[in-house]
Structure 1
């Protein structure tokens, strides 16, 4: 798969798993993570290998007002560094879940974890144990939004 096809691949995989970004449920959070885990294992052409930090996954969480109001977000991002040397582009495909901020989510703080130097199994186990991701995976609250973005840095 080419870098430019990754967004469509992820969107298709989520749809095939029954995840509807416009009608999220608490159970869809875990499904989204499982789909992203499968997506992270797919090979992508023209990318430096993971051991050269060319293909990695970032898990992050926190309460921010990026969209004009305080929201708690839990995000998985796959980053692709092109194999063309120091001037090669870097792309990020992010899958971000948003909830209304409240005392419980604000108490989680913020954090992040990169997959570099880890197997995907190790990474997803550690990511799921991060306070914000543990809350997101076990919360009875449905996310307000699931937003998928793809950008060149």
Structure 2
């Protein structure tokens, strides 16, 4: 599937409305790209994201849920030359999704037409498609706490006892109630 087809499908999903809070930032779409080293290996990343604001029982912001579709490419010079780009659209704001999509089309046309693959070949990659969800955690939670919680959740799901012990020992020194509640929520969330 080429980038334009992926963007078309993401936009179709983005047009579908869900029962979300009535605040203007409760249902958002994000297109971003750039060269990053999130996993230690530098990659050009095209990320299409849908973000939902999840409220608590009192109707206040609790956390975000994001659904990402990422395409990863070896960062050759033409991709590096594109630099980075970020654009948000939020339903229930004064923005028009069709105008937003039209403005993005020029950015997608400037991306080379690599053919994504779902495997990571030895010694590098051409393009990798990654679909995942992420939980942004409660408002005000430190990003390092959020990342540690996600590492613990992965270790628990992978059955990695050594990683669980290490991560919990590191977190125990600075644990607070919000972090522990967030960990519990993440551990019991449906996979």
TM-score, reference length from structure 1: 0.71
**Higher RCO, Cα 8 Å, sep 6+:** 1
The number of equivalent residue pairs is 121
**Is 1:94 aligned to 2:68, yes or no?**
yes
Q: 1:123 aligns with which of 77, 100, 114?
A: 100
Q: How does 1:3-152 map to 2 (within 5 A)?
A: 25=1, 28-45=2-19, 47-49=20-22, 52-84=24-56, 85-116=59-90, 117-130=94-107, 133-136=108-111, 139-143=112-116, 144-152=127-135
Q: CA RMSD in A?
A: 1.8
Q: Distance in 2 between matches of 1:110 and 1:129?
A: 14
* 1:124/1:103 CA distance change after superposition, 3 Å: same
Segments of 5+ residues of structure 2 without an aligned counterpart are 117-126, 137-191
1:83 deviates by: 4.2
4+ long deviations beyond 6 Å: none
The answer (yes or no) to whether the contact 1:78–1:93 under 8 Å persists in 2 is yes
**Counterpart secondary structure, 1:53:** coil
Q: Distance in 2 between matches of 1:40 and 1:30?
A: 15
The answer (yes or no) to whether the contact 1:99–1:142 under 8 Å persists in 2 is no
TM-score, reference length from structure 2: 0.58
CA deviation vs aligned residue, 1:96-127 (integer Å, no higher than 9, x gap): 11111011111111110111342221111122
Based on CA coordinates, which of the two structures has the bigger radius of gyration? Answer: 2
1:70 deviates by: 1.3
The answer (yes or no) to whether the contact 2:34–2:46 under 8 Å persists in 1 is yes
Quote the residue 2:144 is aligned against. none
Q: Distance in 2 between matches of 1:107 and 1:74?
A: 14
Compare 78-87 and 119-128 and name the one that shifted more.
78-87
Q: Distance in 2 between matches of 1:77 and 1:38?
A: 13
